[in-house]
């Protein structure tokens, strides 16, 4: 599968892969990990005020990128848990060892309609901003995201972050998901227009795998477990 398809549209043109999320204990550790494995240096992103996180960004082409995210020590503890289970004790222990692929995010031009159709299963829509970038996101309710394999949904207000990130010449080839309840996961993705967004298979353990191609042509796999 080519990179354009990996970051391409889902069923009914309703949603498509926007970015993949790499968690890190610190952004310095995340940057070093990305440089080691992908041979590319992520650029500064910024803080997410009130959310308690900050990030770095790595461009994966015109419409896709990697977000390296971690708890922001410059912010007070947020009122709500940080996204992508960053406050979960097991995730914290995992990130103590090394940065790890945590999740993926899908964008849609019709966030309100999708969430209205999903109801409480879709989560609440949250407006967010960083500098000139503005977007709205809906995260599945905690513990209802099937181990972060059901993605948060994003709708950009104007241009997406991907259009502002220099191209690293790395490419996302495809995403893979493994889960013991693969049929339920397949249905949840279909409801969001993401039937063909990733390769899904049955497995005793939940896992997200991103297969990428470095600028030198080497293929690399990053995994959540």
Give residue-wise pLDDT tens across range 49-92.
999 999 999 999 989 999 999 999 999 999 989 999 999 999 99
DSSP assignment letter at 78: P
Domain boundaries, the chain: 13-172
Could you tell me which residue, 142 or 180, shows the higher pLDDT?
180
8 has pLDDT over 50 = no
pLDDT at 19 over 80: yes
**Whole-number pLDDT of residue 77:** 95
Q: What is the pLDDT of residues 101-148, one digit of tens each?
A: 999 999 999 999 999 999 999 999 999 888 888 999 999 987 778 999
Across all residues in the chain, what is the average pLDDT?
A: 91
| Residues sharing a CB contact under 8 Å with residue 165, sequence separation 6 or more, in sequence order | 43, 57, 58, 59, 65
For position 6, what pLDDT does the model report?
52
Classified by CATH at the fold level, domain 13-172 comes out as 2,3-Dihydroxybiphenyl 1,2-Dioxygenase; domain 1 (3.10.180)
For residue 32, is pLDDT > 80? yes
Asked if residue 174 lies in contact with residue 6, where contact means CB atoms within 8 angstroms, the answer is yes
Give the E-state strand segments of 91-192 in sequence order: 100-107, 125-130, 133-138, 152-156, 171-179
């Amino acid at each position: 599968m080519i990179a354009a398809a990996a970051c391409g549209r889902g069923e009914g043109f309703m949603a498509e892969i926007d970015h993949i999320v790499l968690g890190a204990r610190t952004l310095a550790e995340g940057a070093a990990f990305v440089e080691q494995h992908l041979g590319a240096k992520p650029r500064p992103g910024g803080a997410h005020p009130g959310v308690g996180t900050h990030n770095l960004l790595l461009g994966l082409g015109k419409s896709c990128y990697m977000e390296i995210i971690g708890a922001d020590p410059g912010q007070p503890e947020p009122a709500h848990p940080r996204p992508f289970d960053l406050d979960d004790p097991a995730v914290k222990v995992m990130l103590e060892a090394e940065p790890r692929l945590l999740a993926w995010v899908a964008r849609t031009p019709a966030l309100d309609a999708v969430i209205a159709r999903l109801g409480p299963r879709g989560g609440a829509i949250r407006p967010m901003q960083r500098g000139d970038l503005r977007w709205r996101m809906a995260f599945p309710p905690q513990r209802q995201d099937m181990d972060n394999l059901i993605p948060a949904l994003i709708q950009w207000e104007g241009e997406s972050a991907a259009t502002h990130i220099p191209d690293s010449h790395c490419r996302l080839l495809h995403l893979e998901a493994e889960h013991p309840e693969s049929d339920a996961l397949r249905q949840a993705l279909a409801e969001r227009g993401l039937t063909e967004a990733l390769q899904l298979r049955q497995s005793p353990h939940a896992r997200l795998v991103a297969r990428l191609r470095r600028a030198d042509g080497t293929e690399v796999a990053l995994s959540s477990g």
